[in-house]
Amino acid sequence: MCPAILRPVAGDVLTRADLAGTPGEPRVAVEWRSVADGPATLNGRPVCAAGDGGCAEVALKPGANLIMLEDASGRAETPVWLDAEPGPRYRVSVDDCIWCLRDVARNGYRSLFDNPWLAGWRRLHESHGVRVQLNLYLEDPESGFTLAGMPDRFRGEWADNADWLRLTWHARSDKPDRPYLGASVETVLRDYRRVTDQILRFAGPQSLTGFTTIHWGEATREVCAALRAEGVRGLVGYFNIDQGRPSVAYYLNAEQTEHLSQRDAWVDTSLDLVLVRHDAVLNLLPVVGVVPHLEAVARRPHEAEVLELMIHEQYFSPTYPAYQPDAWQKVEAAVRWASERGYAPVFYGEEGRLV
């Protein structure tokens, strides 16, 4: 039997709640189980291996770090990541988007922001600094619209607003539910590439982001590995345990999901894929419940550093059967709370990088 590193867990994205030391010299406490008395080293420094285990701090650098414990019985290694942009930040994403683009394409607008819904996001950007990512469907079968119908004459406007407005793939369409549960790699890559190609055509590369939420947050490990190879850096989901089983957790098992459910993010080291947990799905909350929900998140240190806010496009539309006339109020309540508490609006992979 070899020694084992108990904390941190392999793949952990370490934020301020995990750290000791000064901002310029961050360290993390490492707990281990040892099976051999006598000399041992932790990242090359001598430590005491007597007894069942021990705890000592190791220095970290931004990005990837390898924690290594060696004693007479062998070696244990744990890869972790130090979040390269410490400090509170928030991201807003919108799932199930296509109606806004259908409206722009079919109404001969001179500006993207002649669409009232996109104009609403611009108002929030101007008033609160909001940055928003739209996760797109390829098609809306009921109306016959596809992204191929989105004109490219707005490429300059997309580019001018890419500092706060980004796009990526979500799914082929709204139905069927759980479209990628058990779907083949070929099926998912086909849909991903078709949406991505359209985004590049009508908006340009500066509008494309490497983080997304797959529709219903379910896909096999093989699919997620293939998406990583395509350039997808991270996936966002609920990562809940529902009736004892992972929910909206992609391919993670119950133990992995339970761990991530109590953190901002985790890296599947076997895929080099970042997994980020939603903190609030705003259309599931009443307006009066938004702030109490976020206050509860803020009281959990390992979930409070990076605030992930999400809502679905259809709840803003009066034609949708489950229309929520207070959808904008929910978004504004959330971003106002975040702004007032010092959360900076970000996109991941840049100044708000994870990892």
Q: What single DSSP character describes residue 320?
A: S
Same domain, 53 and 176: no
Extended strands (E) in 159-305:
165-171, 211-212, 234-237, 240-242, 245-247, 265-268, 273-277, 280-281
- Rounded distance between C-alpha atoms, residue 158 and residue 126, angstroms: 16
What pLDDT shows up at residue 80? 97
Same domain, 8 and 156: no
Same domain, 162 and 49: no
Closest CA to 294 of 17, 90, 94: 90
We report the CATH number of the domain holding residue 72 as 2.60.40
- Rounded distance between C-alpha atoms, residue 217 and residue 215, angstroms: 5
Domain endpoint, select from 58, 82, 106: 82
Closest CA to 94 of 215, 265, 252: 215
Look at residue 329 and tell me if it is in a domain: yes
| 326 has pLDDT over 80 | yes
Same domain, 125 and 271: yes
Look at residue 351 and tell me if it is in a domain: no
Q: What single DSSP character describes residue 254?
A: H
Chain segment 238-276, per-residue pLDDT in tens = 999 998 899 999 999 999 999 999 999 999 999 999 999
Same domain, 72 and 207: no
Percent of the chain exceeding pLDDT 70 equals: 98
What pLDDT shows up at residue 352? 67
Same domain, 97 and 54: no
| 24 has pLDDT over 90 | no
Look at residue 314 and tell me if it is in a domain: yes
Average pLDDT on 323-327 reads: 98
Range of the domain at 65: 4-82
pTM over 0.85: yes
Q: Alpha carbon 335 to chain centroid distance?
A: 17
Chain segment 52-69, per-residue pLDDT in tens = 778 999 999 989 999 999
Q: What is the mean pLDDT of the chain?
A: 94
Same domain, 35 and 97: no
| Residues 6+ positions from 119 with CB-CB distance below 8 Å | 113
Count the domains in the chain: 2
Domain endpoint, select from 47, 82, 117: 82
What pLDDT shows up at residue 166? 98
| 285 has pLDDT over 90 | yes
Look at residue 174 and tell me if it is in a domain: yes
Look at residue 341 and tell me if it is in a domain: yes
Helix (H, G, I), strand (E, B) or coil at 51: coil
Look at residue 355 and tell me if it is in a domain: no
The count of other CB atoms within 10 Å of the CB of residue 45 is 11
Same domain, 105 and 209: yes
